[in-house]
Structure 1
Amino acid sequence: MESNVQQQTTPKDLSTDLPGAMTQKTSLGDQPWQEWIEPVVDILAKVPEYIGQFFSEYKQPLTTLGLLLLGIISVKITIAILGAIDDIPLLSPILQLVGLSYTAWFVWRYLWKASNRQELLAEFDALKNQMFGDND
């Protein structure tokens, strides 16, 4: 009876000769499609190398292109945000009023008299020297 149980639980295609060897290994080397697969696998294995060479060779143009695309995307997002702000009913006229008020104040404060224009030029020169250094 014990041999019947052992026969029922051990499938016919399992190898019990070596421990850990459950099935016989089939060879894929004789398959006709393998001659088509090997070149594809070789090319796919070299893809990271090709990409690395491409990026190292064209680093400067790719950086320029990336910055250009980033600039375009930033302008598009800014336009979309300003369009959304413009659609808020009272916010657009209030912001226009603030802008006109600041422009009127700037003209009155710095551009109306010659002495004030000289003061503005002095502040501008001080800011320029602070940013770019003293060129005297």
Structure 2
Amino acid sequence: MKDQVQQLEYVDPSSLDDTTIIKISEPGQVSRLSSNNNFTNQISKVSQKVSDFWERLPGNIVNFYHEYKFLIISFTLLVVVVNALKILLAVTGAINSIPLASTIFELIGLSYVIWIIFRYFLKSNTQQEVVNEIDSLKSQIPEEDAEKGRRGDEI
């Protein structure tokens, strides 16, 4: 038997791509596998999708706002009112915890009610002023709306 001598092939590393993997299966045979190309293609596709998403985001937000404008405004107002009530209750609780503060505010409210009674309801001429003011407010309401309200019809 004659020994067969295989000539080794020289591969210049500078001629290979960055994504090329060299695998030696048998002595003297060199094969190239390009497994990183698929990975880089997937990365470029994902990065393109992310880039497209960020490009379209402002337009999508504007379209969403125009489509659901009433709901967004209603929800925002609801959140603002709930937070305002929480703050108001917290301030009221803080004032109530101060000694004598709640008693002083009750006295101020009671004195204001007494002043209104003395000012508008004890003298006949001031009572007439109140009646005239109520009549002028009634005259500002359209008559047909008042009739519909009395009959129970829808406005």
Per the shorter chain, which TM-score range? 0.5 to 0.7
2:51 maps to a residue whose letter is V
Following superposition of structure 1 onto structure 2, how do residues 43-82 of structure 1 map, counting pairs within 5 Å? Answer: 43-82=53-92
CA distance in 1, matches of 2:134, 2:79: 33
TM-score by length of 1: 0.60
Greater Rg over alpha carbons, structure: 2
CA distance in 2, matches of 1:55, 1:113: 58
CA distance in 1, matches of 2:131, 2:75: 38
Q: Looking at secondary structure, tell me which structure has more strand per residue.
A: 2
After TM superposition, the structure 1 stretch with the greater mean CA deviation from structure 2, 32-41 or 89-98, is 32-41
Pair 106,76 (structure 1): closer, same or farther in 2 beyond 3 Å: same
Matched, 1:105 2:115: yes
After TM superposition, the structure 1 stretch with the greater mean CA deviation from structure 2, 72-81 or 102-111, is 102-111
Q: How many pairs does the alignment contain?
A: 105
After TM superposition, the structure 1 stretch with the greater mean CA deviation from structure 2, 107-116 or 41-50, is 107-116
After TM superposition, the structure 1 stretch with the greater mean CA deviation from structure 2, 40-49 or 106-115, is 106-115
Aligned counterpart, 1:41: 51
Please list the CA deviations of residues 57-103 of structure 1 after superposition, one character each: whole Å capped at 9, or x if unmatched. Answer: 22222122222222222222222211111111121111111111221
Following superposition of structure 1 onto structure 2, how do residues 1-136 of structure 1 map, counting pairs within 5 Å? Answer: 31-32=40-41, 33-112=43-122, 115-124=125-134, 128=137
Unaligned 5+ runs, structure 2: 1-17, 19-36, 143-155
CA distance in 1, matches of 2:124, 2:85: 38
TM-score by length of 2: 0.53
% of aligned pairs identical? 33
CA distance in 1, matches of 2:118, 2:97: 32
After TM superposition, the structure 1 stretch with the greater mean CA deviation from structure 2, 45-54 or 102-111, is 102-111
Unaligned 5+ runs, structure 1: 1-25
Pair 49,105 (structure 1): closer, same or farther in 2 beyond 3 Å: same
CA distance in 2, matches of 1:123, 1:106: 15
